[in-house]
Chains A and B, each alone.
Chain A
Amino acid sequence: MSSEIRPVSRPGIQWVYRMIERLIELTIMLCGWSSILFVFAIFYFVFREAAPMLFGDLNLVEFFTSPNWRPASEIQPQYGVLALLVGSLSVTALAMVLAVPFGLGAAIYVSEFCGGKLKEVLKVVIELLSAIPSVVWGFVGYMVLGPLIMQLSGAPVGVNVLNGGIILALMSVPIIVSVGEDALKAVPDSYREAALSLGASRWEIVCRVLFPAAKNGLLAAVLLGVGRAIGETMAVLMATGHAVQIPHSLFDPIRTLTATIAAELGETVEGDDHYRVLFVIGVVLFAVTFVVNLIADLVVKGIRSEKA
């Protein structure tokens, strides 16, 4: 009796159901599109604030090639971001030099060499590491690592490229480990078994099978780490010494693009040149992280299409 398909008794109810269905669909669609909307809104806002300077008085050649950053000068303000750019790049490069081998090594260890409980513990701890707020990292850099660097190296200041690089490396490692581990885990077990049955050792399997098989995922892990490092603000603000100069050694204090925005925006008058130049820096940062993320994304897509 209850199993037969009954005709609709009240067509009105049917209509209400259909409307509810439509409403839910619409809501979900809105959720999906909102993220795109927000990205464009942010970009639009940053760009709008920067535009008068970007297309107006700012000499772009000087902007990118001059190391003189004197935005507050009464006589002749100078807006050269070369030192800041070099500062950002040097501290990011150092962070990657430290974080990539460390992070990939940890990913390989977690995925291939340790098992059971230890693996679970390590994964939880690594996740925990990525949950530490960046201001805490900055604090560690300023109060712990700085004095330690001074003591060990005899450098006059402890907050410098080395300090910022180490802190940024520590912050990027969790991302590299978790994305890298996912990439290694995605390698079919049959590859490991095949190599093992041909007499390969575990280390040979890592080098000759897993690296070629997971290279896109591992590259994406590294790029996401780079993105994290270059966009980081608070920790580098506190750990790098905040001195505008092109560094000549690891022990020179520097200042990054991000830290400059964070430190100076509050002191500017809304709408003046200094204010707008800070937004131009924002556009530069936006462009850099966008490109890095885009490459990472394309690389990850590359894995998927290869598998298909």
Chain B
Amino acid sequence: MTVATDSSTRTHYSIQTRDLNLWYGKFQALKNVTVDIRPRLITSLIGPSGCGKTTLLRCFNRINERYGNVTTTGEVTILGRNVYDEDISLSELRKSVGMVFQRPNPLPISIYKNVLFGIRTHTRRGAFPRHQRDEMVESALRDVQLWDEVKDRLRRRATHLTLEQQQKLCIARLLPLKPRVILMDEPCSALDAEGTERVEALIGDLKRQYTIVIVTHNMAQARRVSDECIFMLLGEIIEHDDTVQLFLNPHKEQTEMYIEGRYG
């Protein structure tokens, strides 16, 4: 690994895990995962199906735990706090760590309300006057290049949008919460080639302000969008390196075999 792990640079990382283990029932999905993810970069998680990349991603906002039989040990430090501490507020954690899902999942309410859904769970009713809410919606939708397409139908149900628009909306609704980290679980897998290109461009823009971790099945995508790349296999981190380095000059045999397409 080229990424330094000594403690003096701890604060330079936005996500750090230490000996993270996770079991679904008796099945161990993550094994001693220790990894450091740097801010304002795009880090991609790659590996064959079932290697634990989505599980690792879902540890970062602890959304894994909604299925009762999950056991986790180890530490995940995000913005200087261990998110597995007793006193952590899940609601606050998810405010700073946003997530975009594989299948666009806008809520079955209006576009306008979708954008403000997050902020409304975190502030009391009427905390923002009307014009301020309108501004928040506009700026979030502008940031994802959706404003011009939907500005005349903000009150329409978000589920009527195209998949690409839906996925952009799913990114937009994170922005009013001012998250520090955005987790993306195969965000383009439901989109066509052009949609993928535009959403990838958008992800590239967002990295200036946010730490982005993206899970992808698509190695070409990992190469195109990410700055650093983590290769996982059977619940373990095999290699973590600069994306260009990892693809041109992998250090581990498994990585080489995977990126050459010999398995996975």
- A positions within 8 Å CB-CB of B: 115, 188, 190-201, 204, 208-209, 212-213
Contact = CB atoms under 8 A, between A and B. Distances in A.
B107 interface: yes
Contacts of A193: 63, 66, 101, 105
A197 B107 contact: no
Interface of B: 61, 63, 66, 68, 90-95, 98-99, 101, 103, 105-109, 117-118, 120-122, 170, 173-174, 177
Nearest to B99: A197
Contacts of B170: 194
B68 A194 contact: no
Nearest to B170: A194
Q: 5 smallest A-B Cβ distances: which pairs? A: A190-B105, A198-B118, A199-B94, A197-B99, A199-B91
B117 A196 contact: no
Contact of A204 (B105, B121, B173, B174): B121
Contact of A190 (B63, B93, B98, B101): B101
Nearest to A188: B105
A176 B95 CA distance: 36
A274 B108 CA distance: 54
Contacts of A196: 63, 66, 94
B119 to A, nearest CB: 9
Contacts of B61: 197
B37 to A, nearest CB: 18
A193 B58 CA distance: 11
A198 B173 contact: yes
30 contacts: A115-B68, A190-B101, A190-B105, A191-B105, A191-B107, A191-B108, A192-B66, A193-B101, A194-B101, A195-B121, A196-B63, A196-B94, A197-B63, A197-B94, A198-B98, A198-B177, A199-B91, A199-B94, A199-B95, A199-B118, A199-B122, A199-B177, A200-B91, A200-B117, A200-B121, A208-B109, A208-B117, A208-B120, A212-B107, A213-B108
Contacts, number: 67
B108 A198 contact: no
Contacts of B92: 199
A194 B121 contact: no
Contacts of B91: 199-201
Nearest to B97: A197
Contact of B117 (A115, A190, A192, A198): A198
A188 B101 CA distance: 14
A209 B95 contact: no
A209 B63 contact: no
A198 B106 CA distance: 11
Contact of B107 (A115, A194, A199, A201): A194
A13 B107 CA distance: 59
Nearest to A202: B66
A176 to B, nearest CB: 22
B254 to A, nearest CB: 31
